[in-house]
Chains A and B, each alone.
With several copies, the nearest count.
Chain A
Amino acid sequence: MEYSEKVMDHFMHPRNVGEIEDASGVGTVGNAKCGDIMKVYLKIEDGIIQDAKFKTFGCGAAVATSSMATELIKGRTIEEALKLTNKAVMEALDGLPKVKVHCSVLAEEALRAALWDYAKTNNIKIEGLEPPKEDDDLDHHDLFDEE
């Protein structure tokens, strides 16, 4: 396992760990079978993400991507947040080992799940936002097993 310094920094000193009591939206993705569960809390006001927090059960990369993803969307508009891809999270972390790419996907999905929750609660429609998948288990399996 070889993590970049950035990943190790965000793992050892994760930003935005915690809960938001009166969150505008909360999203949980992943499952214990995969070994990664991410929960993202968002505080949204006037279409702007005022605050973001997370809790993560998972490996070093899972914690680091949660930390980086929440960091990247704080202060952004919903539209900007929607544009955040797992690739952008990875790049901001100076890359991830191949077997850990799925963690960045999970971070992206956790964010979208929280936004979906916000939209549902407030009965609004966010352009381009899909409902979170029920169980994305199969998506992430055997990414590594070539041929």
Chain B
Amino acid sequence: MDKKIYFDNAATTKVRPEVYQEILPYLDEMYANPSSVYTIARDSKKAIDKAREQVANAINATTREIYFTSGGTESDNWAIKGVADAYKNKGKHIITSSIEHHAVLHTCEYLEKQGFKVTYLPVDKYGLINLEDLKSAITDETILVSIMFANNEIGTIEPIKEIGKITREKGIIFHTDAVQAIGHVPIDVKDMNIDLLSMSGHKIYGPKGTGALYVRKGVRITQFIHGGAQEFNRRGGTENVCGIVGLGKAIELATSEMEEENKRLLELRQTIIDGILNTVPYTHLNGHPEQRLSNNVNITFDFIEGESILLMLDFKGIEASSGSACTSGSLDPSHVLLALGLPHEKAHGSVRITLGRYNTKEEAEFLLKELPPIIERLRNMSPLWEDFLKSNK
């Protein structure tokens, strides 16, 4: 294959042509500031109104409950810090999970320094939180539960509706980071009793640097970015009109095509998972076998390290990511894989393959052909493999 094969759709996605086309005018002639009074500014304002409707419809919210942000990370920060500040007189305890995205975890760690108490719920070997753990973690001081909808590394989908039931009964605010779930799992904030929900554009073929936060009417939240009267007076800053338009279109398309696309992805996903587990020895699937995102494959290759695998895949034109943290500055492997109970060397040896709308069966087959010799080659270089073979003799 000459072409690159992009298997890292959980990291980011290519803007799809329909979104690209919708965006372009707002980078060009339709540049007016939506807050202005003159005629052409109305087009910008209408474009934002339309996008807000598209986002609201995707999760069964009302437009007045949708706020645009600069991305999933800002949405997470705002949701957690904003609720913590607004309800701090009621209590200072927050519950989250140990496998959240850093946008949630580092925000919680920051709040700990500000005097909040945070419980990080453990997960089982599939990455699921335990509802009984959640119930018993709740105290009179608990103001917020933040549990992600679906995990970005292992694809495990958490029992969101059940969590919503518990939190609503106890009168506790429930935030969920749905950055990876949007477009893959049906979401109904009313039915699921979700109070706040974070979204991002660039995981669903929208532009980078765009996001949204759903805040249920009635939930108090302290402003995060102070400034002009944009976003119903709740989030200052001249609107990223082009980004907002792109997010709206992307989310509309993603939800309307979800069912069909999920079918296709599920098949592709299973081909890859089965293909690897059946042909390469000493491999394990990370995450839940069924309760998982239709586009997520995460596999540990024993005895070898993830970045090495990625580099060799890259050499073959295949782009994926790993649970090894070689690039992030810290030397610890993925906190998610460690939370599943994986020992360090197994966490370091994991590879994530995330599928998207441009991936084909041919690409999956190419991967399954190229992967085994790479694994073999790296194992032959590995002192752990050597030790293992010797100890088995």
Chain B residue nearest in CB terms to A28: B383
Does B248 sit at the interface, judged by CB under 8 A? Answer: no
Does A140 sit at the interface, judged by CB under 8 A? Answer: yes
Pick out which of these stretches binds chain B: A51-59, A72-80, A85-93.
A51-59
- Secondary structure of the A contact surface, majority rule: mixed
With contacts A102-B331, A145-B330 taken as known, whether A60 is within 8 angstroms of B308 at the C-beta atoms is yes
Does A112 sit at the interface, judged by CB under 8 A? Answer: no
Residues of chain A within 8 A (CB-CB) of B332 are: 33
With contacts A1-B37, A12-B315, A59-B308 taken as known, whether A34 is within 8 angstroms of B331 at the C-beta atoms is yes
Does A42 sit at the interface, judged by CB under 8 A? Answer: no
A129 to B305, CA, bound (A): 30
Does B114 sit at the interface, judged by CB under 8 A? Answer: no
A100 to B328, CA, bound (A): 11
A19 to B387, CA, bound (A): 12
With contacts A59-B326, A144-B330 taken as known, whether A32 is within 8 angstroms of B343 at the C-beta atoms is yes
Does A95 sit at the interface, judged by CB under 8 A? Answer: no
Does A111 sit at the interface, judged by CB under 8 A? Answer: no
Does A132 sit at the interface, judged by CB under 8 A? Answer: no
Distance of B232 from chain A, by nearest CB (Å): 8
Q: Are the C-beta atoms of B382 and A59 separated by less than 8 Å? A: no
Does B360 sit at the interface, judged by CB under 8 A? Answer: no
Does A63 sit at the interface, judged by CB under 8 A? Answer: yes
Chain A residue nearest in CB terms to B220: A147
Residues of chain A within 8 A (CB-CB) of B90 are: none
Q: Which parts of B296-319 form the interface with A (CB within 8 Å)?
A: 303-308, 311-312, 315
Q: Are the C-beta atoms of B331 and A56 separated by less than 8 Å? A: no
A35 touches which of B303, B305, B315 (Cβ 8 Å): B305
Chain B residue nearest in CB terms to A56: B381
Residues of chain B within 8 A (CB-CB) of A142 are: 329-331
Chain B residue nearest in CB terms to A98: B329
Q: Are the C-beta atoms of B344 and A57 separated by less than 8 Å? A: no
Q: Are the C-beta atoms of A60 and B330 separated by less than 8 Å? A: no
Does A127 sit at the interface, judged by CB under 8 A? Answer: no
Distance of A96 from chain B, by nearest CB (Å): 12
B324 touches which of A12, A17, A35, A38 (Cβ 8 Å): A35
Q: Are the C-beta atoms of B326 and A19 separated by less than 8 Å? A: no
A59 touches which of B42, B45, B307 (Cβ 8 Å): B307
A33 to B315, CA, bound (A): 27
Does B278 sit at the interface, judged by CB under 8 A? Answer: no
A62 to B381, CA, bound (A): 11
Contact string, B362-393, partner A, CB cutoff 8 A, digits 1/0? Answer: 00000000000000000011111010000000
B42 touches which of A2, A31, A39, A100 (Cβ 8 Å): A2
A62 to B304, CA, bound (A): 12
Distance of B7 from chain A, by nearest CB (Å): 17
Q: Which parts of A1-46 form the interface with B (CB within 8 Å)?
A: 1-2, 8, 11-12, 14, 17, 19, 28, 31-39
Chain A residue nearest in CB terms to B327: A1
Residues of chain A within 8 A (CB-CB) of B232 are: 146
A115 to B49, CA, bound (A): 42
Contact string, A120-147, partner B, CB cutoff 8 A, digits 1/0? Answer: 0000000000000000000011111111
Distance of A143 from chain B, by nearest CB (Å): 8
Does B333 sit at the interface, judged by CB under 8 A? Answer: yes
Distance of A107 from chain B, by nearest CB (Å): 14
Does B231 sit at the interface, judged by CB under 8 A? Answer: no
Contact string, B324-351, partner A, CB cutoff 8 A, digits 1/0? Answer: 1111111111000000000111001000
Q: Are the C-beta atoms of A57 and B303 separated by less than 8 Å? A: yes
Distance of A93 from chain B, by nearest CB (Å): 15
Residues of chain B within 8 A (CB-CB) of A38 are: 383
Residues of chain B within 8 A (CB-CB) of A31 are: 344
Q: Which parts of B215-232 form the interface with A (CB within 8 Å)?
A: 220, 232
Does B233 sit at the interface, judged by CB under 8 A? Answer: yes
Residues of chain A within 8 A (CB-CB) of B327 are: 1, 99
Which among B37, B232, B325, B381 has the highest number of chain A CB atoms within 10 Å? Answer: B381
With contacts A1-B326, A34-B331, A99-B326 taken as known, whether A60 is within 8 angstroms of B311 at the C-beta atoms is yes
Q: Are the C-beta atoms of A60 and B307 separated by less than 8 Å? A: yes
A33 to B348, CA, bound (A): 8
Q: Are the C-beta atoms of B384 and A37 separated by less than 8 Å? A: yes
Distance of B75 from chain A, by nearest CB (Å): 19
Distance of A70 from chain B, by nearest CB (Å): 12
Show 13 residue pairs from A and B whose CB-CB distance is below 8 angstroms, ordered by the A residue: A2-B45, A12-B312, A32-B348, A35-B333, A35-B348, A37-B384, A55-B386, A56-B382, A58-B305, A60-B307, A99-B328, A141-B331, A147-B220
9 more A-B contacts (CB under 8 A) besides A1-B307, A62-B308, A141-B331? A19-B386, A28-B383, A33-B344, A38-B383, A39-B383, A57-B382, A58-B305, A102-B331, A143-B329
